[in-house]
Chain A
Amino acid sequence: MSNTTWPMADATSIAPRESDFESLTLPHLASVARFALSLTRDRANADDLVQETFLRAMRGWHTFKAGSDPRRWLFAICRNTFLRMRQERHELVESSEEDADALPTVLGHVRAVEQGLGDLFELLDVRPAIVAAIDRLPEPHHTILVLVDLEGHSYEEAAAVLDVPLGTVRSRLYRARRMIQDALLAYAEDAGVKRRASEAPAVDTVRC
């Protein structure tokens, strides 16, 4: 998403200066820490992962192409380090083709309006529900959501960090958002946020 051009170390060489390592990588420490926490789900393990990530980055600094995005590079190292440090458990929710686009989520909006929940963003502080819903997301959807919606990576950048196809990024992200929306609607319903269906503006099904 960022078009920032990173400082070139040397006009005649693509190798970065060793002295630039900390200045170019440490500003991303907080983001890497959050990403590491999304992978490990445990603060202590996340801190270990962050430390190992920066050590590996320092050792491999000569491979970093000056002018490229150090944050994306760090995220890729973090993920690969995580996969090496831990055996990946297959506690995954498989993305189905039905989340290849926004249609399933929009149908959720249609149902919400029918239930009088269409104005929930105006009627509720949704932040606690959003935080809780994100925390409950299963992998790999949690990591994708963190990368795109919280860290601001584009679909393409997230695909590069995770080494997965673009279509996989889309389906996992859209499924994550649908799960968050479902949780938010349940929260709103529990909070008693409902207008009578007759008061709600009509929103038809997906058809002109």
Chain B
Amino acid sequence: MPTRLTHSVPVDCETVVRALWAYIDRELSDEERAAVDAHMAECDHCRAHNDFERRLVQSITALRADVREPDELRDRVLDALRRARTEGEGEGEVG
């Protein structure tokens, strides 16, 4: 049974592994993060898991640079907005 992450109580591998995504995504509290850091400093296995899964996430997030703004789409949206203003569309439902 995984124990709660707290810096005052050494945690086991299962607890650290279960928290790994949250740790990589920086979704843990400072106390929880410190507990994982302390465990990683002493555990080669969990450090290896962290390295591998972190590389996986980095491989995915590296695709952020692929964001391209289609020029035609921008022009299309601007034209639509201008037409809507010209036609006097007022405030309404947001969606």
Contacts and interface: CB of A to CB of B under 8 A. Distances in A.
Contact of A29 (B18, B74, B90, B94): B74
Contacts of A34: 67
A106 B67 CA distance: 30
Given A33-B70, A51-B77, A60-B92, A127 B62 contact: yes
Interface in A150-208: 150-152, 154-155, 170, 173-174, 177, 180-181, 184, 201, 203-204, 206-208
Given A22-B81, A54-B81, A151-B64, 4 more contacts: A47-B70, A56-B93, A102-B20, A177-B57
Contact of A77 (B52, B67, B85, B95): B95
B95 A102 contact: no
Interface residues of B, number: 46
A27 to B, nearest CB: 9
- Interface band, chain A: 35 or more
A11 interface: no
Contacts, number: 156
Contact of A134 (B14, B20, B48, B63): B63
Contact of A81 (B60, B76, B95): B95
Interface string A30-66: 1101100000000000010011111111111111000
